Amino acid sequence: MSYSNLLECTRRGLYCPAGDFYVDPWDRVDHAILTHAHADHARWGCKRYLAARSSEALLKVRLSNSIDLQTLDYGETLRIHNALVSLHPAGHILGSSQVRIEVDGKVALITGDYKLQPDPTCSAWEPVRCDLMVTESTFGLPVFQWPETQLVIKQLVAWWHENQKQGRTSVILAYSVGKAQRIIAEVVRLCGVEVAKDMAVHGAMLGPNRAYRNSGIEIPDLPSAASLSSDHDWSKALILGPPSSQGTGWIKRFSDPSIAMASGWMAIRGTRRRRNVDRGFVLSDHIDWPDLLRAIDACRPETVWVTHGFTDVVARYLMHQGIEAEVLQTHFSGDESEPIISEDA
């Protein structure tokens, strides 16, 4: 089936001819609809942006307070030229959205990045019936099957407590937007808000944390580790830093740290060794293999376009199941690209 008036992939990104707009463009365009605030999906320099209302604070931290941003509530419909557009929860990070586009009775759904696991820091994913589904496949292999989040957080806290007994600083590497806030919220929910007195973050997380709190997400106002005195006792601390901080002067301020990483990639044997970390916690803000298949089944598309990740595997599997599928080449990376932050951040 042809979807040429509904959606096409161009050199600037996914484009809707009937509405004359792009979804998560990878070049500067006049009108961009954004699925979420990660750097590979929300690019600076477009004339006008449209996104979910709950993403506003975070997008302005990531892009600028001066951007021309229009927002919609989830489920609210907007006509843009000859297209009807609505945004629906994606469950990825705060304000993340699936973009539903309807033209002449046909519906396309661009998932952006998404997950089905519960997350206290963002709205839960919702299925959207569609004819064409554009889905990510960052972890689109059967080996990727996420454990229950509560189990992972209990393992993380047990690792932290063991390090406290040994007088070692616990440093957990996690992406600055989404993953870090999810970990903070889950640890506080498990242990109580009083644990915040022993927690601190890298400076790259201060702005995103503030945006989450300004959006009504309950996470404590943690200090920057760099703002504490040089003789601070780190022996009981849990510190969150971005993966890019590993091996920098920032992390060297902690004496004898035990370093862990929270990522879906920790499900692959040998990843922890390659990343040179002591522990790996399997925690991802992307969909795993079983939930990817559940999501497609719930949305009931006739055609699936598969982007970033294990696209060939997913497309072949779907075609074997009788679903028309093809690989779509995009510039999305599947994980946020961490900013380069000074060692003193």
Counts of helices then strands in the chain (DSSP H, E): 7, 18
pLDDT for res 271: 86
The strand pairing partners of 108, in sequence order, are 101, 132
Count up the domains in the chain and report the number: 2
pLDDT for res 331: 73
- Does residue 344 belong to any structural domain of this protein? no
- Candidates 240, 277, 252; CA nearest to 344 is 252
Let me know whether 156 and 274 are in one domain.
yes
Q: Is the pLDDT of residue 344 over 80?
A: no
Let me know whether 111 and 82 are in one domain.
yes
Q: Residue 1 — pLDDT band, cuts 50, 70, 90? A: low
Let me know whether 157 and 262 are in one domain.
yes
pLDDT for res 335: 58
> What radius of gyration, in Å, describes the C-alpha atoms of the chain?
20
DSSP string of 64-96, one letter each residue:
-TTS-EEEE-TT-EEEETTEEEEEEE-SSSTT-
Let me know whether 13 and 137 are in one domain.
yes
Let me know whether 221 and 179 are in one domain.
yes
pLDDT for res 151: 98
- Give the end of a domain, one of 281, 299, 318: 281
- Does residue 260 belong to any structural domain of this protein? yes
Let me know whether 106 and 196 are in one domain.
no
pLDDT for res 316: 97
| Mean pLDDT, all residues of the chain | 93
Q: Is the pLDDT of residue 118 over 90?
A: yes
pLDDT for res 334: 61
- Does residue 335 belong to any structural domain of this protein? no
List, in sequence order, every beta strand (DSSP E) within 126-220: 132-137, 170-173, 199-201
Let me know whether 263 and 163 are in one domain.
yes
Let me know whether 106 and 221 are in one domain.
no
- Spatial separation of the C-alpha atoms in residues 95 and 302, rounded to whole Å: 27
State mean pLDDT over 99-107.
97
284-334 pLDDT per residue, tens = 999 999 999 999 999 999 999 999 999 999 999 999 999 999 999 877 766
Q: Is the pLDDT of residue 341 over 50?
A: no
pLDDT for res 333: 66
Let me know whether 55 and 158 are in one domain.
no
State mean pLDDT over 117-121.
97
- Does residue 3 belong to any structural domain of this protein? no
List, in sequence order, every beta strand (DSSP E) within 124-255: 132-137, 170-173, 199-201, 238-241
Q: Is the pLDDT of residue 338 over 80?
A: no
Backbone dihedral angles phi then psi of residue 221, each to the nearest 5 degrees: -85, 85
Instruction: Show the tokens assigned to 26.
Output: 């990878």
Q: Residue 274 — pLDDT band, cuts 50, 70, 90? A: confident
Distances (CA, A) of 209 to 62, 183, 213, 284: 12, 12, 6, 18
State mean pLDDT over 100-107.
97
Q: Is the pLDDT of residue 22 over 70?
A: yes
Q: Is the pLDDT of residue 337 over 50?
A: no
Instruction: Show the tokens assigned to 216.
Output: 């009504």
Let me know whether 14 and 137 are in one domain.
yes
Let me know whether 157 and 120 are in one domain.
no
- Spatial separation of the C-alpha atoms in residues 44 and 31, rounded to whole Å: 12
pLDDT for res 29: 97
Let me know whether 121 and 210 are in one domain.
no
- Does residue 179 belong to any structural domain of this protein? yes
- Spatial separation of the C-alpha atoms in residues 178 and 96, rounded to whole Å: 10
34-83 pLDDT per residue, tens = 999 999 999 999 999 999 999 999 999 999 999 999 999 999 999 999 99
Domain that residue 229 falls in: 149-281
216-268 pLDDT per residue, tens = 999 999 999 999 887 889 999 999 999 999 989 999 889 899 999 999 999 99
